[in-house]
Amino acid sequence: MKSLDSLNPVQKEAVLNTDGPVMILAGAGSGKTKTLVTRITYLLDAKNVSPHQLLALTFSNKAAKEMRERISHEVAMDIGSLQITTFHAFCAKLLRSEANYLGLSRNFTIYDEGESKAIAKSLLERRGISTKEINPYEILAYIDGLKNNGYYPGRDMPGGDGPETTDMFFGYFEEYESELHRANALDFGGLITAVIQLFEKFPEVASRYQNRYVYVLVDEYQDTNRAQFELIKILCEKRRNICVVGDEDQSIYSWRGADIRNILDFEKVFPDVKVLKLEQNYRSSKTIIEAASCVIEKNTLRKGKHMWTENPEGDAIDVVECFNDKDEAEFIAQETARLYKAGTPYKEMAVFYRSNAQARQIEDALRKYKIQYRVIGGVKFYERKEIKDMLSYLRLVINSKDSLALSRIINVPARGVGATSLRKLEVEAMNNNTSLWDIIEKIVDHSADYTHIKLSAKIKSSLSEFVTLINELRHLDQNKIKPSTIYEKVLHESGYYAFLKANKDYETLARLENLDELLNAITQFEESAEVPTLSGFLETITLDSSSDFDEAAKLIDGEISLMTVHGAKGLEFTHAFVVGAEENVFPSYRSVDGGEIAMEEERRLFYVAMTRAMIKLYITFAQGRMLFGQVKFNGPSRFIDEIPEKLFTWKKLKGHQEDRYDHSFTPGYQKNFDPYDQSQESHYDNEEVVYQIKETASAPLKSFHQPKFPKGASVVHSLYGAGKVEDSEGSGADEKVQIKFADGARKKFMVKFAPIVLA
């Protein structure tokens, strides 16, 4: 077991207070995970609690994975039955074994946001309302709101604050729910509310779980919504050994339903709670901690902690005033290069921005200086079209009622079943109160009974072929044939592979590569899962976006990390750049006139960003920034003003003509800042001019990956023969080239896929 000696007194208390309700408020970098891991190993080793009786719930798969790994290192016993899992995966598993109570079947499908949106759209369509009159997201937001609060149809809400049946969208909610039920599907929110419903309607079921889980632990508690809180409450009713760990100052997902009141009001629900505050920070310099504390202390919606550290004083924070967004990006590139030369590896540096759009300028500048970087977040692997198509086939195999999956792939590749035919089938299914699959199967088997649906012989025969294929696949799945085998059969026998192969552009190459990666993922799953079923794989895919198979989260040597502040939570870097620290950018314009509650969340975001830095923090802003096609002068972020002046140095970038812009300011955005007002120039006494932008800054400081096939190189393609590189773009995995072949043909390739070699 991890020794208690390595813990500080509060951490030790957090481990030893095993019985009764405990709330641990763990500041940034306070050794939270270490404490949690020790607590669990202590329960297992010293208190002889069986792993079976323990439940640890986290929010992200990443957190669950990390905790599980660390625990398995610490304890000798087999922790196979120890449940460290996400809320959603926990609920999904529970529901699969208790599905019959709620009239679900255990092979239910989990719908993601895209699929929920598709349902909302079809509900609108059904009523003849265009998506311009009502945005489907409005409906989804309403539905999501209800579910986040723990509402399920017919529930008698505690506190009586359920929805009104007269609500504008209540009808949509009911219809949406019955659509899901018809498809034997649940959405993310529904996973949680279904368990609440199960527990409330069947106390004997609840009781089984209440008895089993003697100790329950919840990580990232600040991110739980009310539904999750109620779930925990029921689960812990009997044993009352509930330990929640969180930091109200890092609650940055309220817009996703996280309810900060779960922390603030915990004591009202559990009056005998022991509250412990982990306030010693082991990550950052004194300067950074003090600055971040001063900012966050402006918030009122908090319990209050005071972070401190024994770490060295450290450097002052650099607040860097740039002329415009381009200069800001240029500064990042030059400064990171300078740090690198001075001995800081690139993987220790990170750039945090408020919104994804800001990444582009910075990427451009880094590319210009040939600095390798990695953008964390972005397009999800499983959201790509070809992946969704293939997954839809597999989902249909598992759950025949999944009409959404069916309608997605019924005509991919083209089978002559276009929108009109599909529409007819859907109407018929609706009239017969059955699923799309069911009706198609009936038409194929008993064609004579369905002459009223006008379908051509060609369509009928391709439907028949389709039904045969899916049924064969189902048969394979029932006979426990490996998912990867089933996948390969779908890919080829559906005609999807041939259909893709038909075009030869380089986008297709990427798609084929993605399909290979999907196979890879399935194979990997087969190796790691105890019982590698197809349905298990599909669940993992839906509930674990981090299974972006390129391991996006892994920090690679020689690469700077670029990410949103949201994406930065939980990470740390020796050198961090918080960029775009301007009013209307950070804080976001949405929050600037969105009231105090919204502003407090922005402040928490800023706090999260600051506390990622260990040694040196840079905060940059631009006088003028290109936004929505025009230059806006927003002025520095109010959060900069909240940092005591003694903790930062105000540095102004020089090297530009002051009159590049005319003096037309953006009305309404000016605030108190005027970049041309001399009287405001020395608002900060310690202002100094330090960084000098070099206009001819094109000399690369270090070229990591030169293009493999530079312009002018002679190459040989295994298919097209000899040619010359006409154009080359990017390097490493992103390198793209345009080649002119001997026969005069020009083609573009992604180097990582194309079979080309230097001649």
Q: Which chain residues interact with DNA by CB under 7 A?
A: 59-62, 86-89, 113, 130-132, 188, 220, 223, 252-253, 255-256, 258, 354-357, 377, 380, 411, 414, 417-419, 543-546, 563-564, 566-567, 588, 590-591, 594, 598, 602, 626, 628-629
Is the Cβ of residue 145 or residue 594 nearer to DNA in the bound state?
Answer: 594
Which one of the listed residues 347, 374, 408, 612 is annotated catalytic? 612
Is the Cβ of residue 142 or residue 691 nearer to DNA in the bound state?
Answer: 142
- We find the least distance from the C-beta atom of residue 199 to DNA, in angstroms, to be 19
Alpha carbons 511 and 421: distance in angstroms, whole number: 28
- Is 69 within 8 Å of 36 (Cβ atoms)? no
Report DSSP state, residue 354.
Answer: S
Closest CA to 384 of 492, 517, 185, 483: 517
Which one of the listed residues 33, 524, 533, 666 is annotated catalytic? 33
Q: Which residues contact 420 (CB under 8 A, 6 or more apart)?
A: none
Residue 109 gets the label, from left (phi > 0), alpha (psi -120 to 50) or beta, of beta
Q: Does residue 465 carry a catalytic annotation?
A: no
Q: Which residue in the block uniquely carries the two structure tokens 């799945």?
A: 477
- We find the least distance from the C-beta atom of residue 630 to DNA, in angstroms, to be 7
- We find the least distance from the C-beta atom of residue 574 to DNA, in angstroms, to be 22
Is the Cβ of residue 133 or residue 557 nearer to DNA in the bound state?
Answer: 133
Closest CA to 651 of 319, 314, 338, 288: 319
Q: Does residue 328 carry a catalytic annotation?
A: no
Is the Cβ of residue 357 or residue 757 nearer to DNA in the bound state?
Answer: 357
Is the Cβ of residue 134 or residue 519 nearer to DNA in the bound state?
Answer: 134
Please, what is the Cα angle at 725 between 723 and 729, to 5 degrees?
150
- Is 398 within 8 Å of 535 (Cβ atoms)? yes
Task: Give the residues across from 320 on adjacent strands.
Answer: 620, 651
Q: Does residue 32 carry a catalytic annotation?
A: yes
Closest CA to 464 of 441, 494, 495: 441
- We find the least distance from the C-beta atom of residue 44 to DNA, in angstroms, to be 25
Classified as helix, coil or strand, 695 is coil
- We find the least distance from the C-beta atom of residue 113 to DNA, in angstroms, to be 6
Closest CA to 250 of 278, 215, 226: 278
- CA separation (Å) from 470 to 399, 451, 466, 476, 526? 11, 24, 6, 10, 22
- We find the least distance from the C-beta atom of residue 67 to DNA, in angstroms, to be 13
**What is the token pair recorded at 300?**
């009122």
Which one of the listed residues 219, 386, 402, 544 is annotated catalytic? 219
Which one of the listed residues 250, 280, 309, 564 is annotated catalytic? 250
Is the Cβ of residue 188 or residue 650 nearer to DNA in the bound state?
Answer: 188
Is the Cβ of residue 179 or residue 602 nearer to DNA in the bound state?
Answer: 602
**What is the token pair recorded at 600?**
């407090």
Helix-then-strand count for the chain, H and E: 28, 23
Please, what is the Cα angle at 62 between 358 and 603, to 5 degrees?
45
- We find the least distance from the C-beta atom of residue 499 to DNA, in angstroms, to be 10
Is the Cβ of residue 524 or residue 545 nearer to DNA in the bound state?
Answer: 545
- We find the least distance from the C-beta atom of residue 251 to DNA, in angstroms, to be 8
Is the Cβ of residue 557 or residue 593 nearer to DNA in the bound state?
Answer: 593
Alpha carbons 338 and 630: distance in angstroms, whole number: 32
Exposure of 300 by Cβ count < 10 A (0-12 exposed, 13-18 middle, 19+ buried)? exposed
Closest CA to 226 of 173, 264, 277, 280: 264
- We find the least distance from the C-beta atom of residue 252 to DNA, in angstroms, to be 7
* One-letter amino acid of 136: P
Task: Give the residues across from 694 on adjacent strands.
Answer: none
- Is 264 within 8 Å of 622 (Cβ atoms)? no
Q: Does residue 193 carry a catalytic annotation?
A: no
- We find the least distance from the C-beta atom of residue 77 to DNA, in angstroms, to be 27
User: Would you say how long the chain is, in residues?
Assistant: 759
Q: Which residues contact 750 (CB under 8 A, 6 or more apart)?
A: 506, 509, 510, 734, 735, 736
Residue 578 gets the label, from left (phi > 0), alpha (psi -120 to 50) or beta, of beta
Q: Does residue 677 carry a catalytic annotation?
A: no
- We find the least distance from the C-beta atom of residue 92 to DNA, in angstroms, to be 8
Q: Does residue 33 carry a catalytic annotation?
A: yes
Please report how many Cα atoms fall inside a 13 Å half-sphere around the Cα of residue 277, on the Cβ side.
Answer: 12
**What is the token pair recorded at 3?**
């020794």
DSSP per residue over 139-207, as a string?
HHHHHHHHHHTT--TT---GGG----TTSTTHHHHHHHHHHHHHTTEEEHHHHHHHHHHHHHH-HHHHH
Which one of the listed residues 179, 220, 601, 735 is annotated catalytic? 220
Is the Cβ of residue 317 or residue 350 nearer to DNA in the bound state?
Answer: 350
Which one of the listed residues 2, 32, 511, 604 is annotated catalytic? 32
- We find the least distance from the C-beta atom of residue 222 to DNA, in angstroms, to be 8
Is the Cβ of residue 246 or residue 635 nearer to DNA in the bound state?
Answer: 246
Is the Cβ of residue 405 or residue 585 nearer to DNA in the bound state?
Answer: 585
- List the catalytic residues: 32-33, 219-220, 250, 612
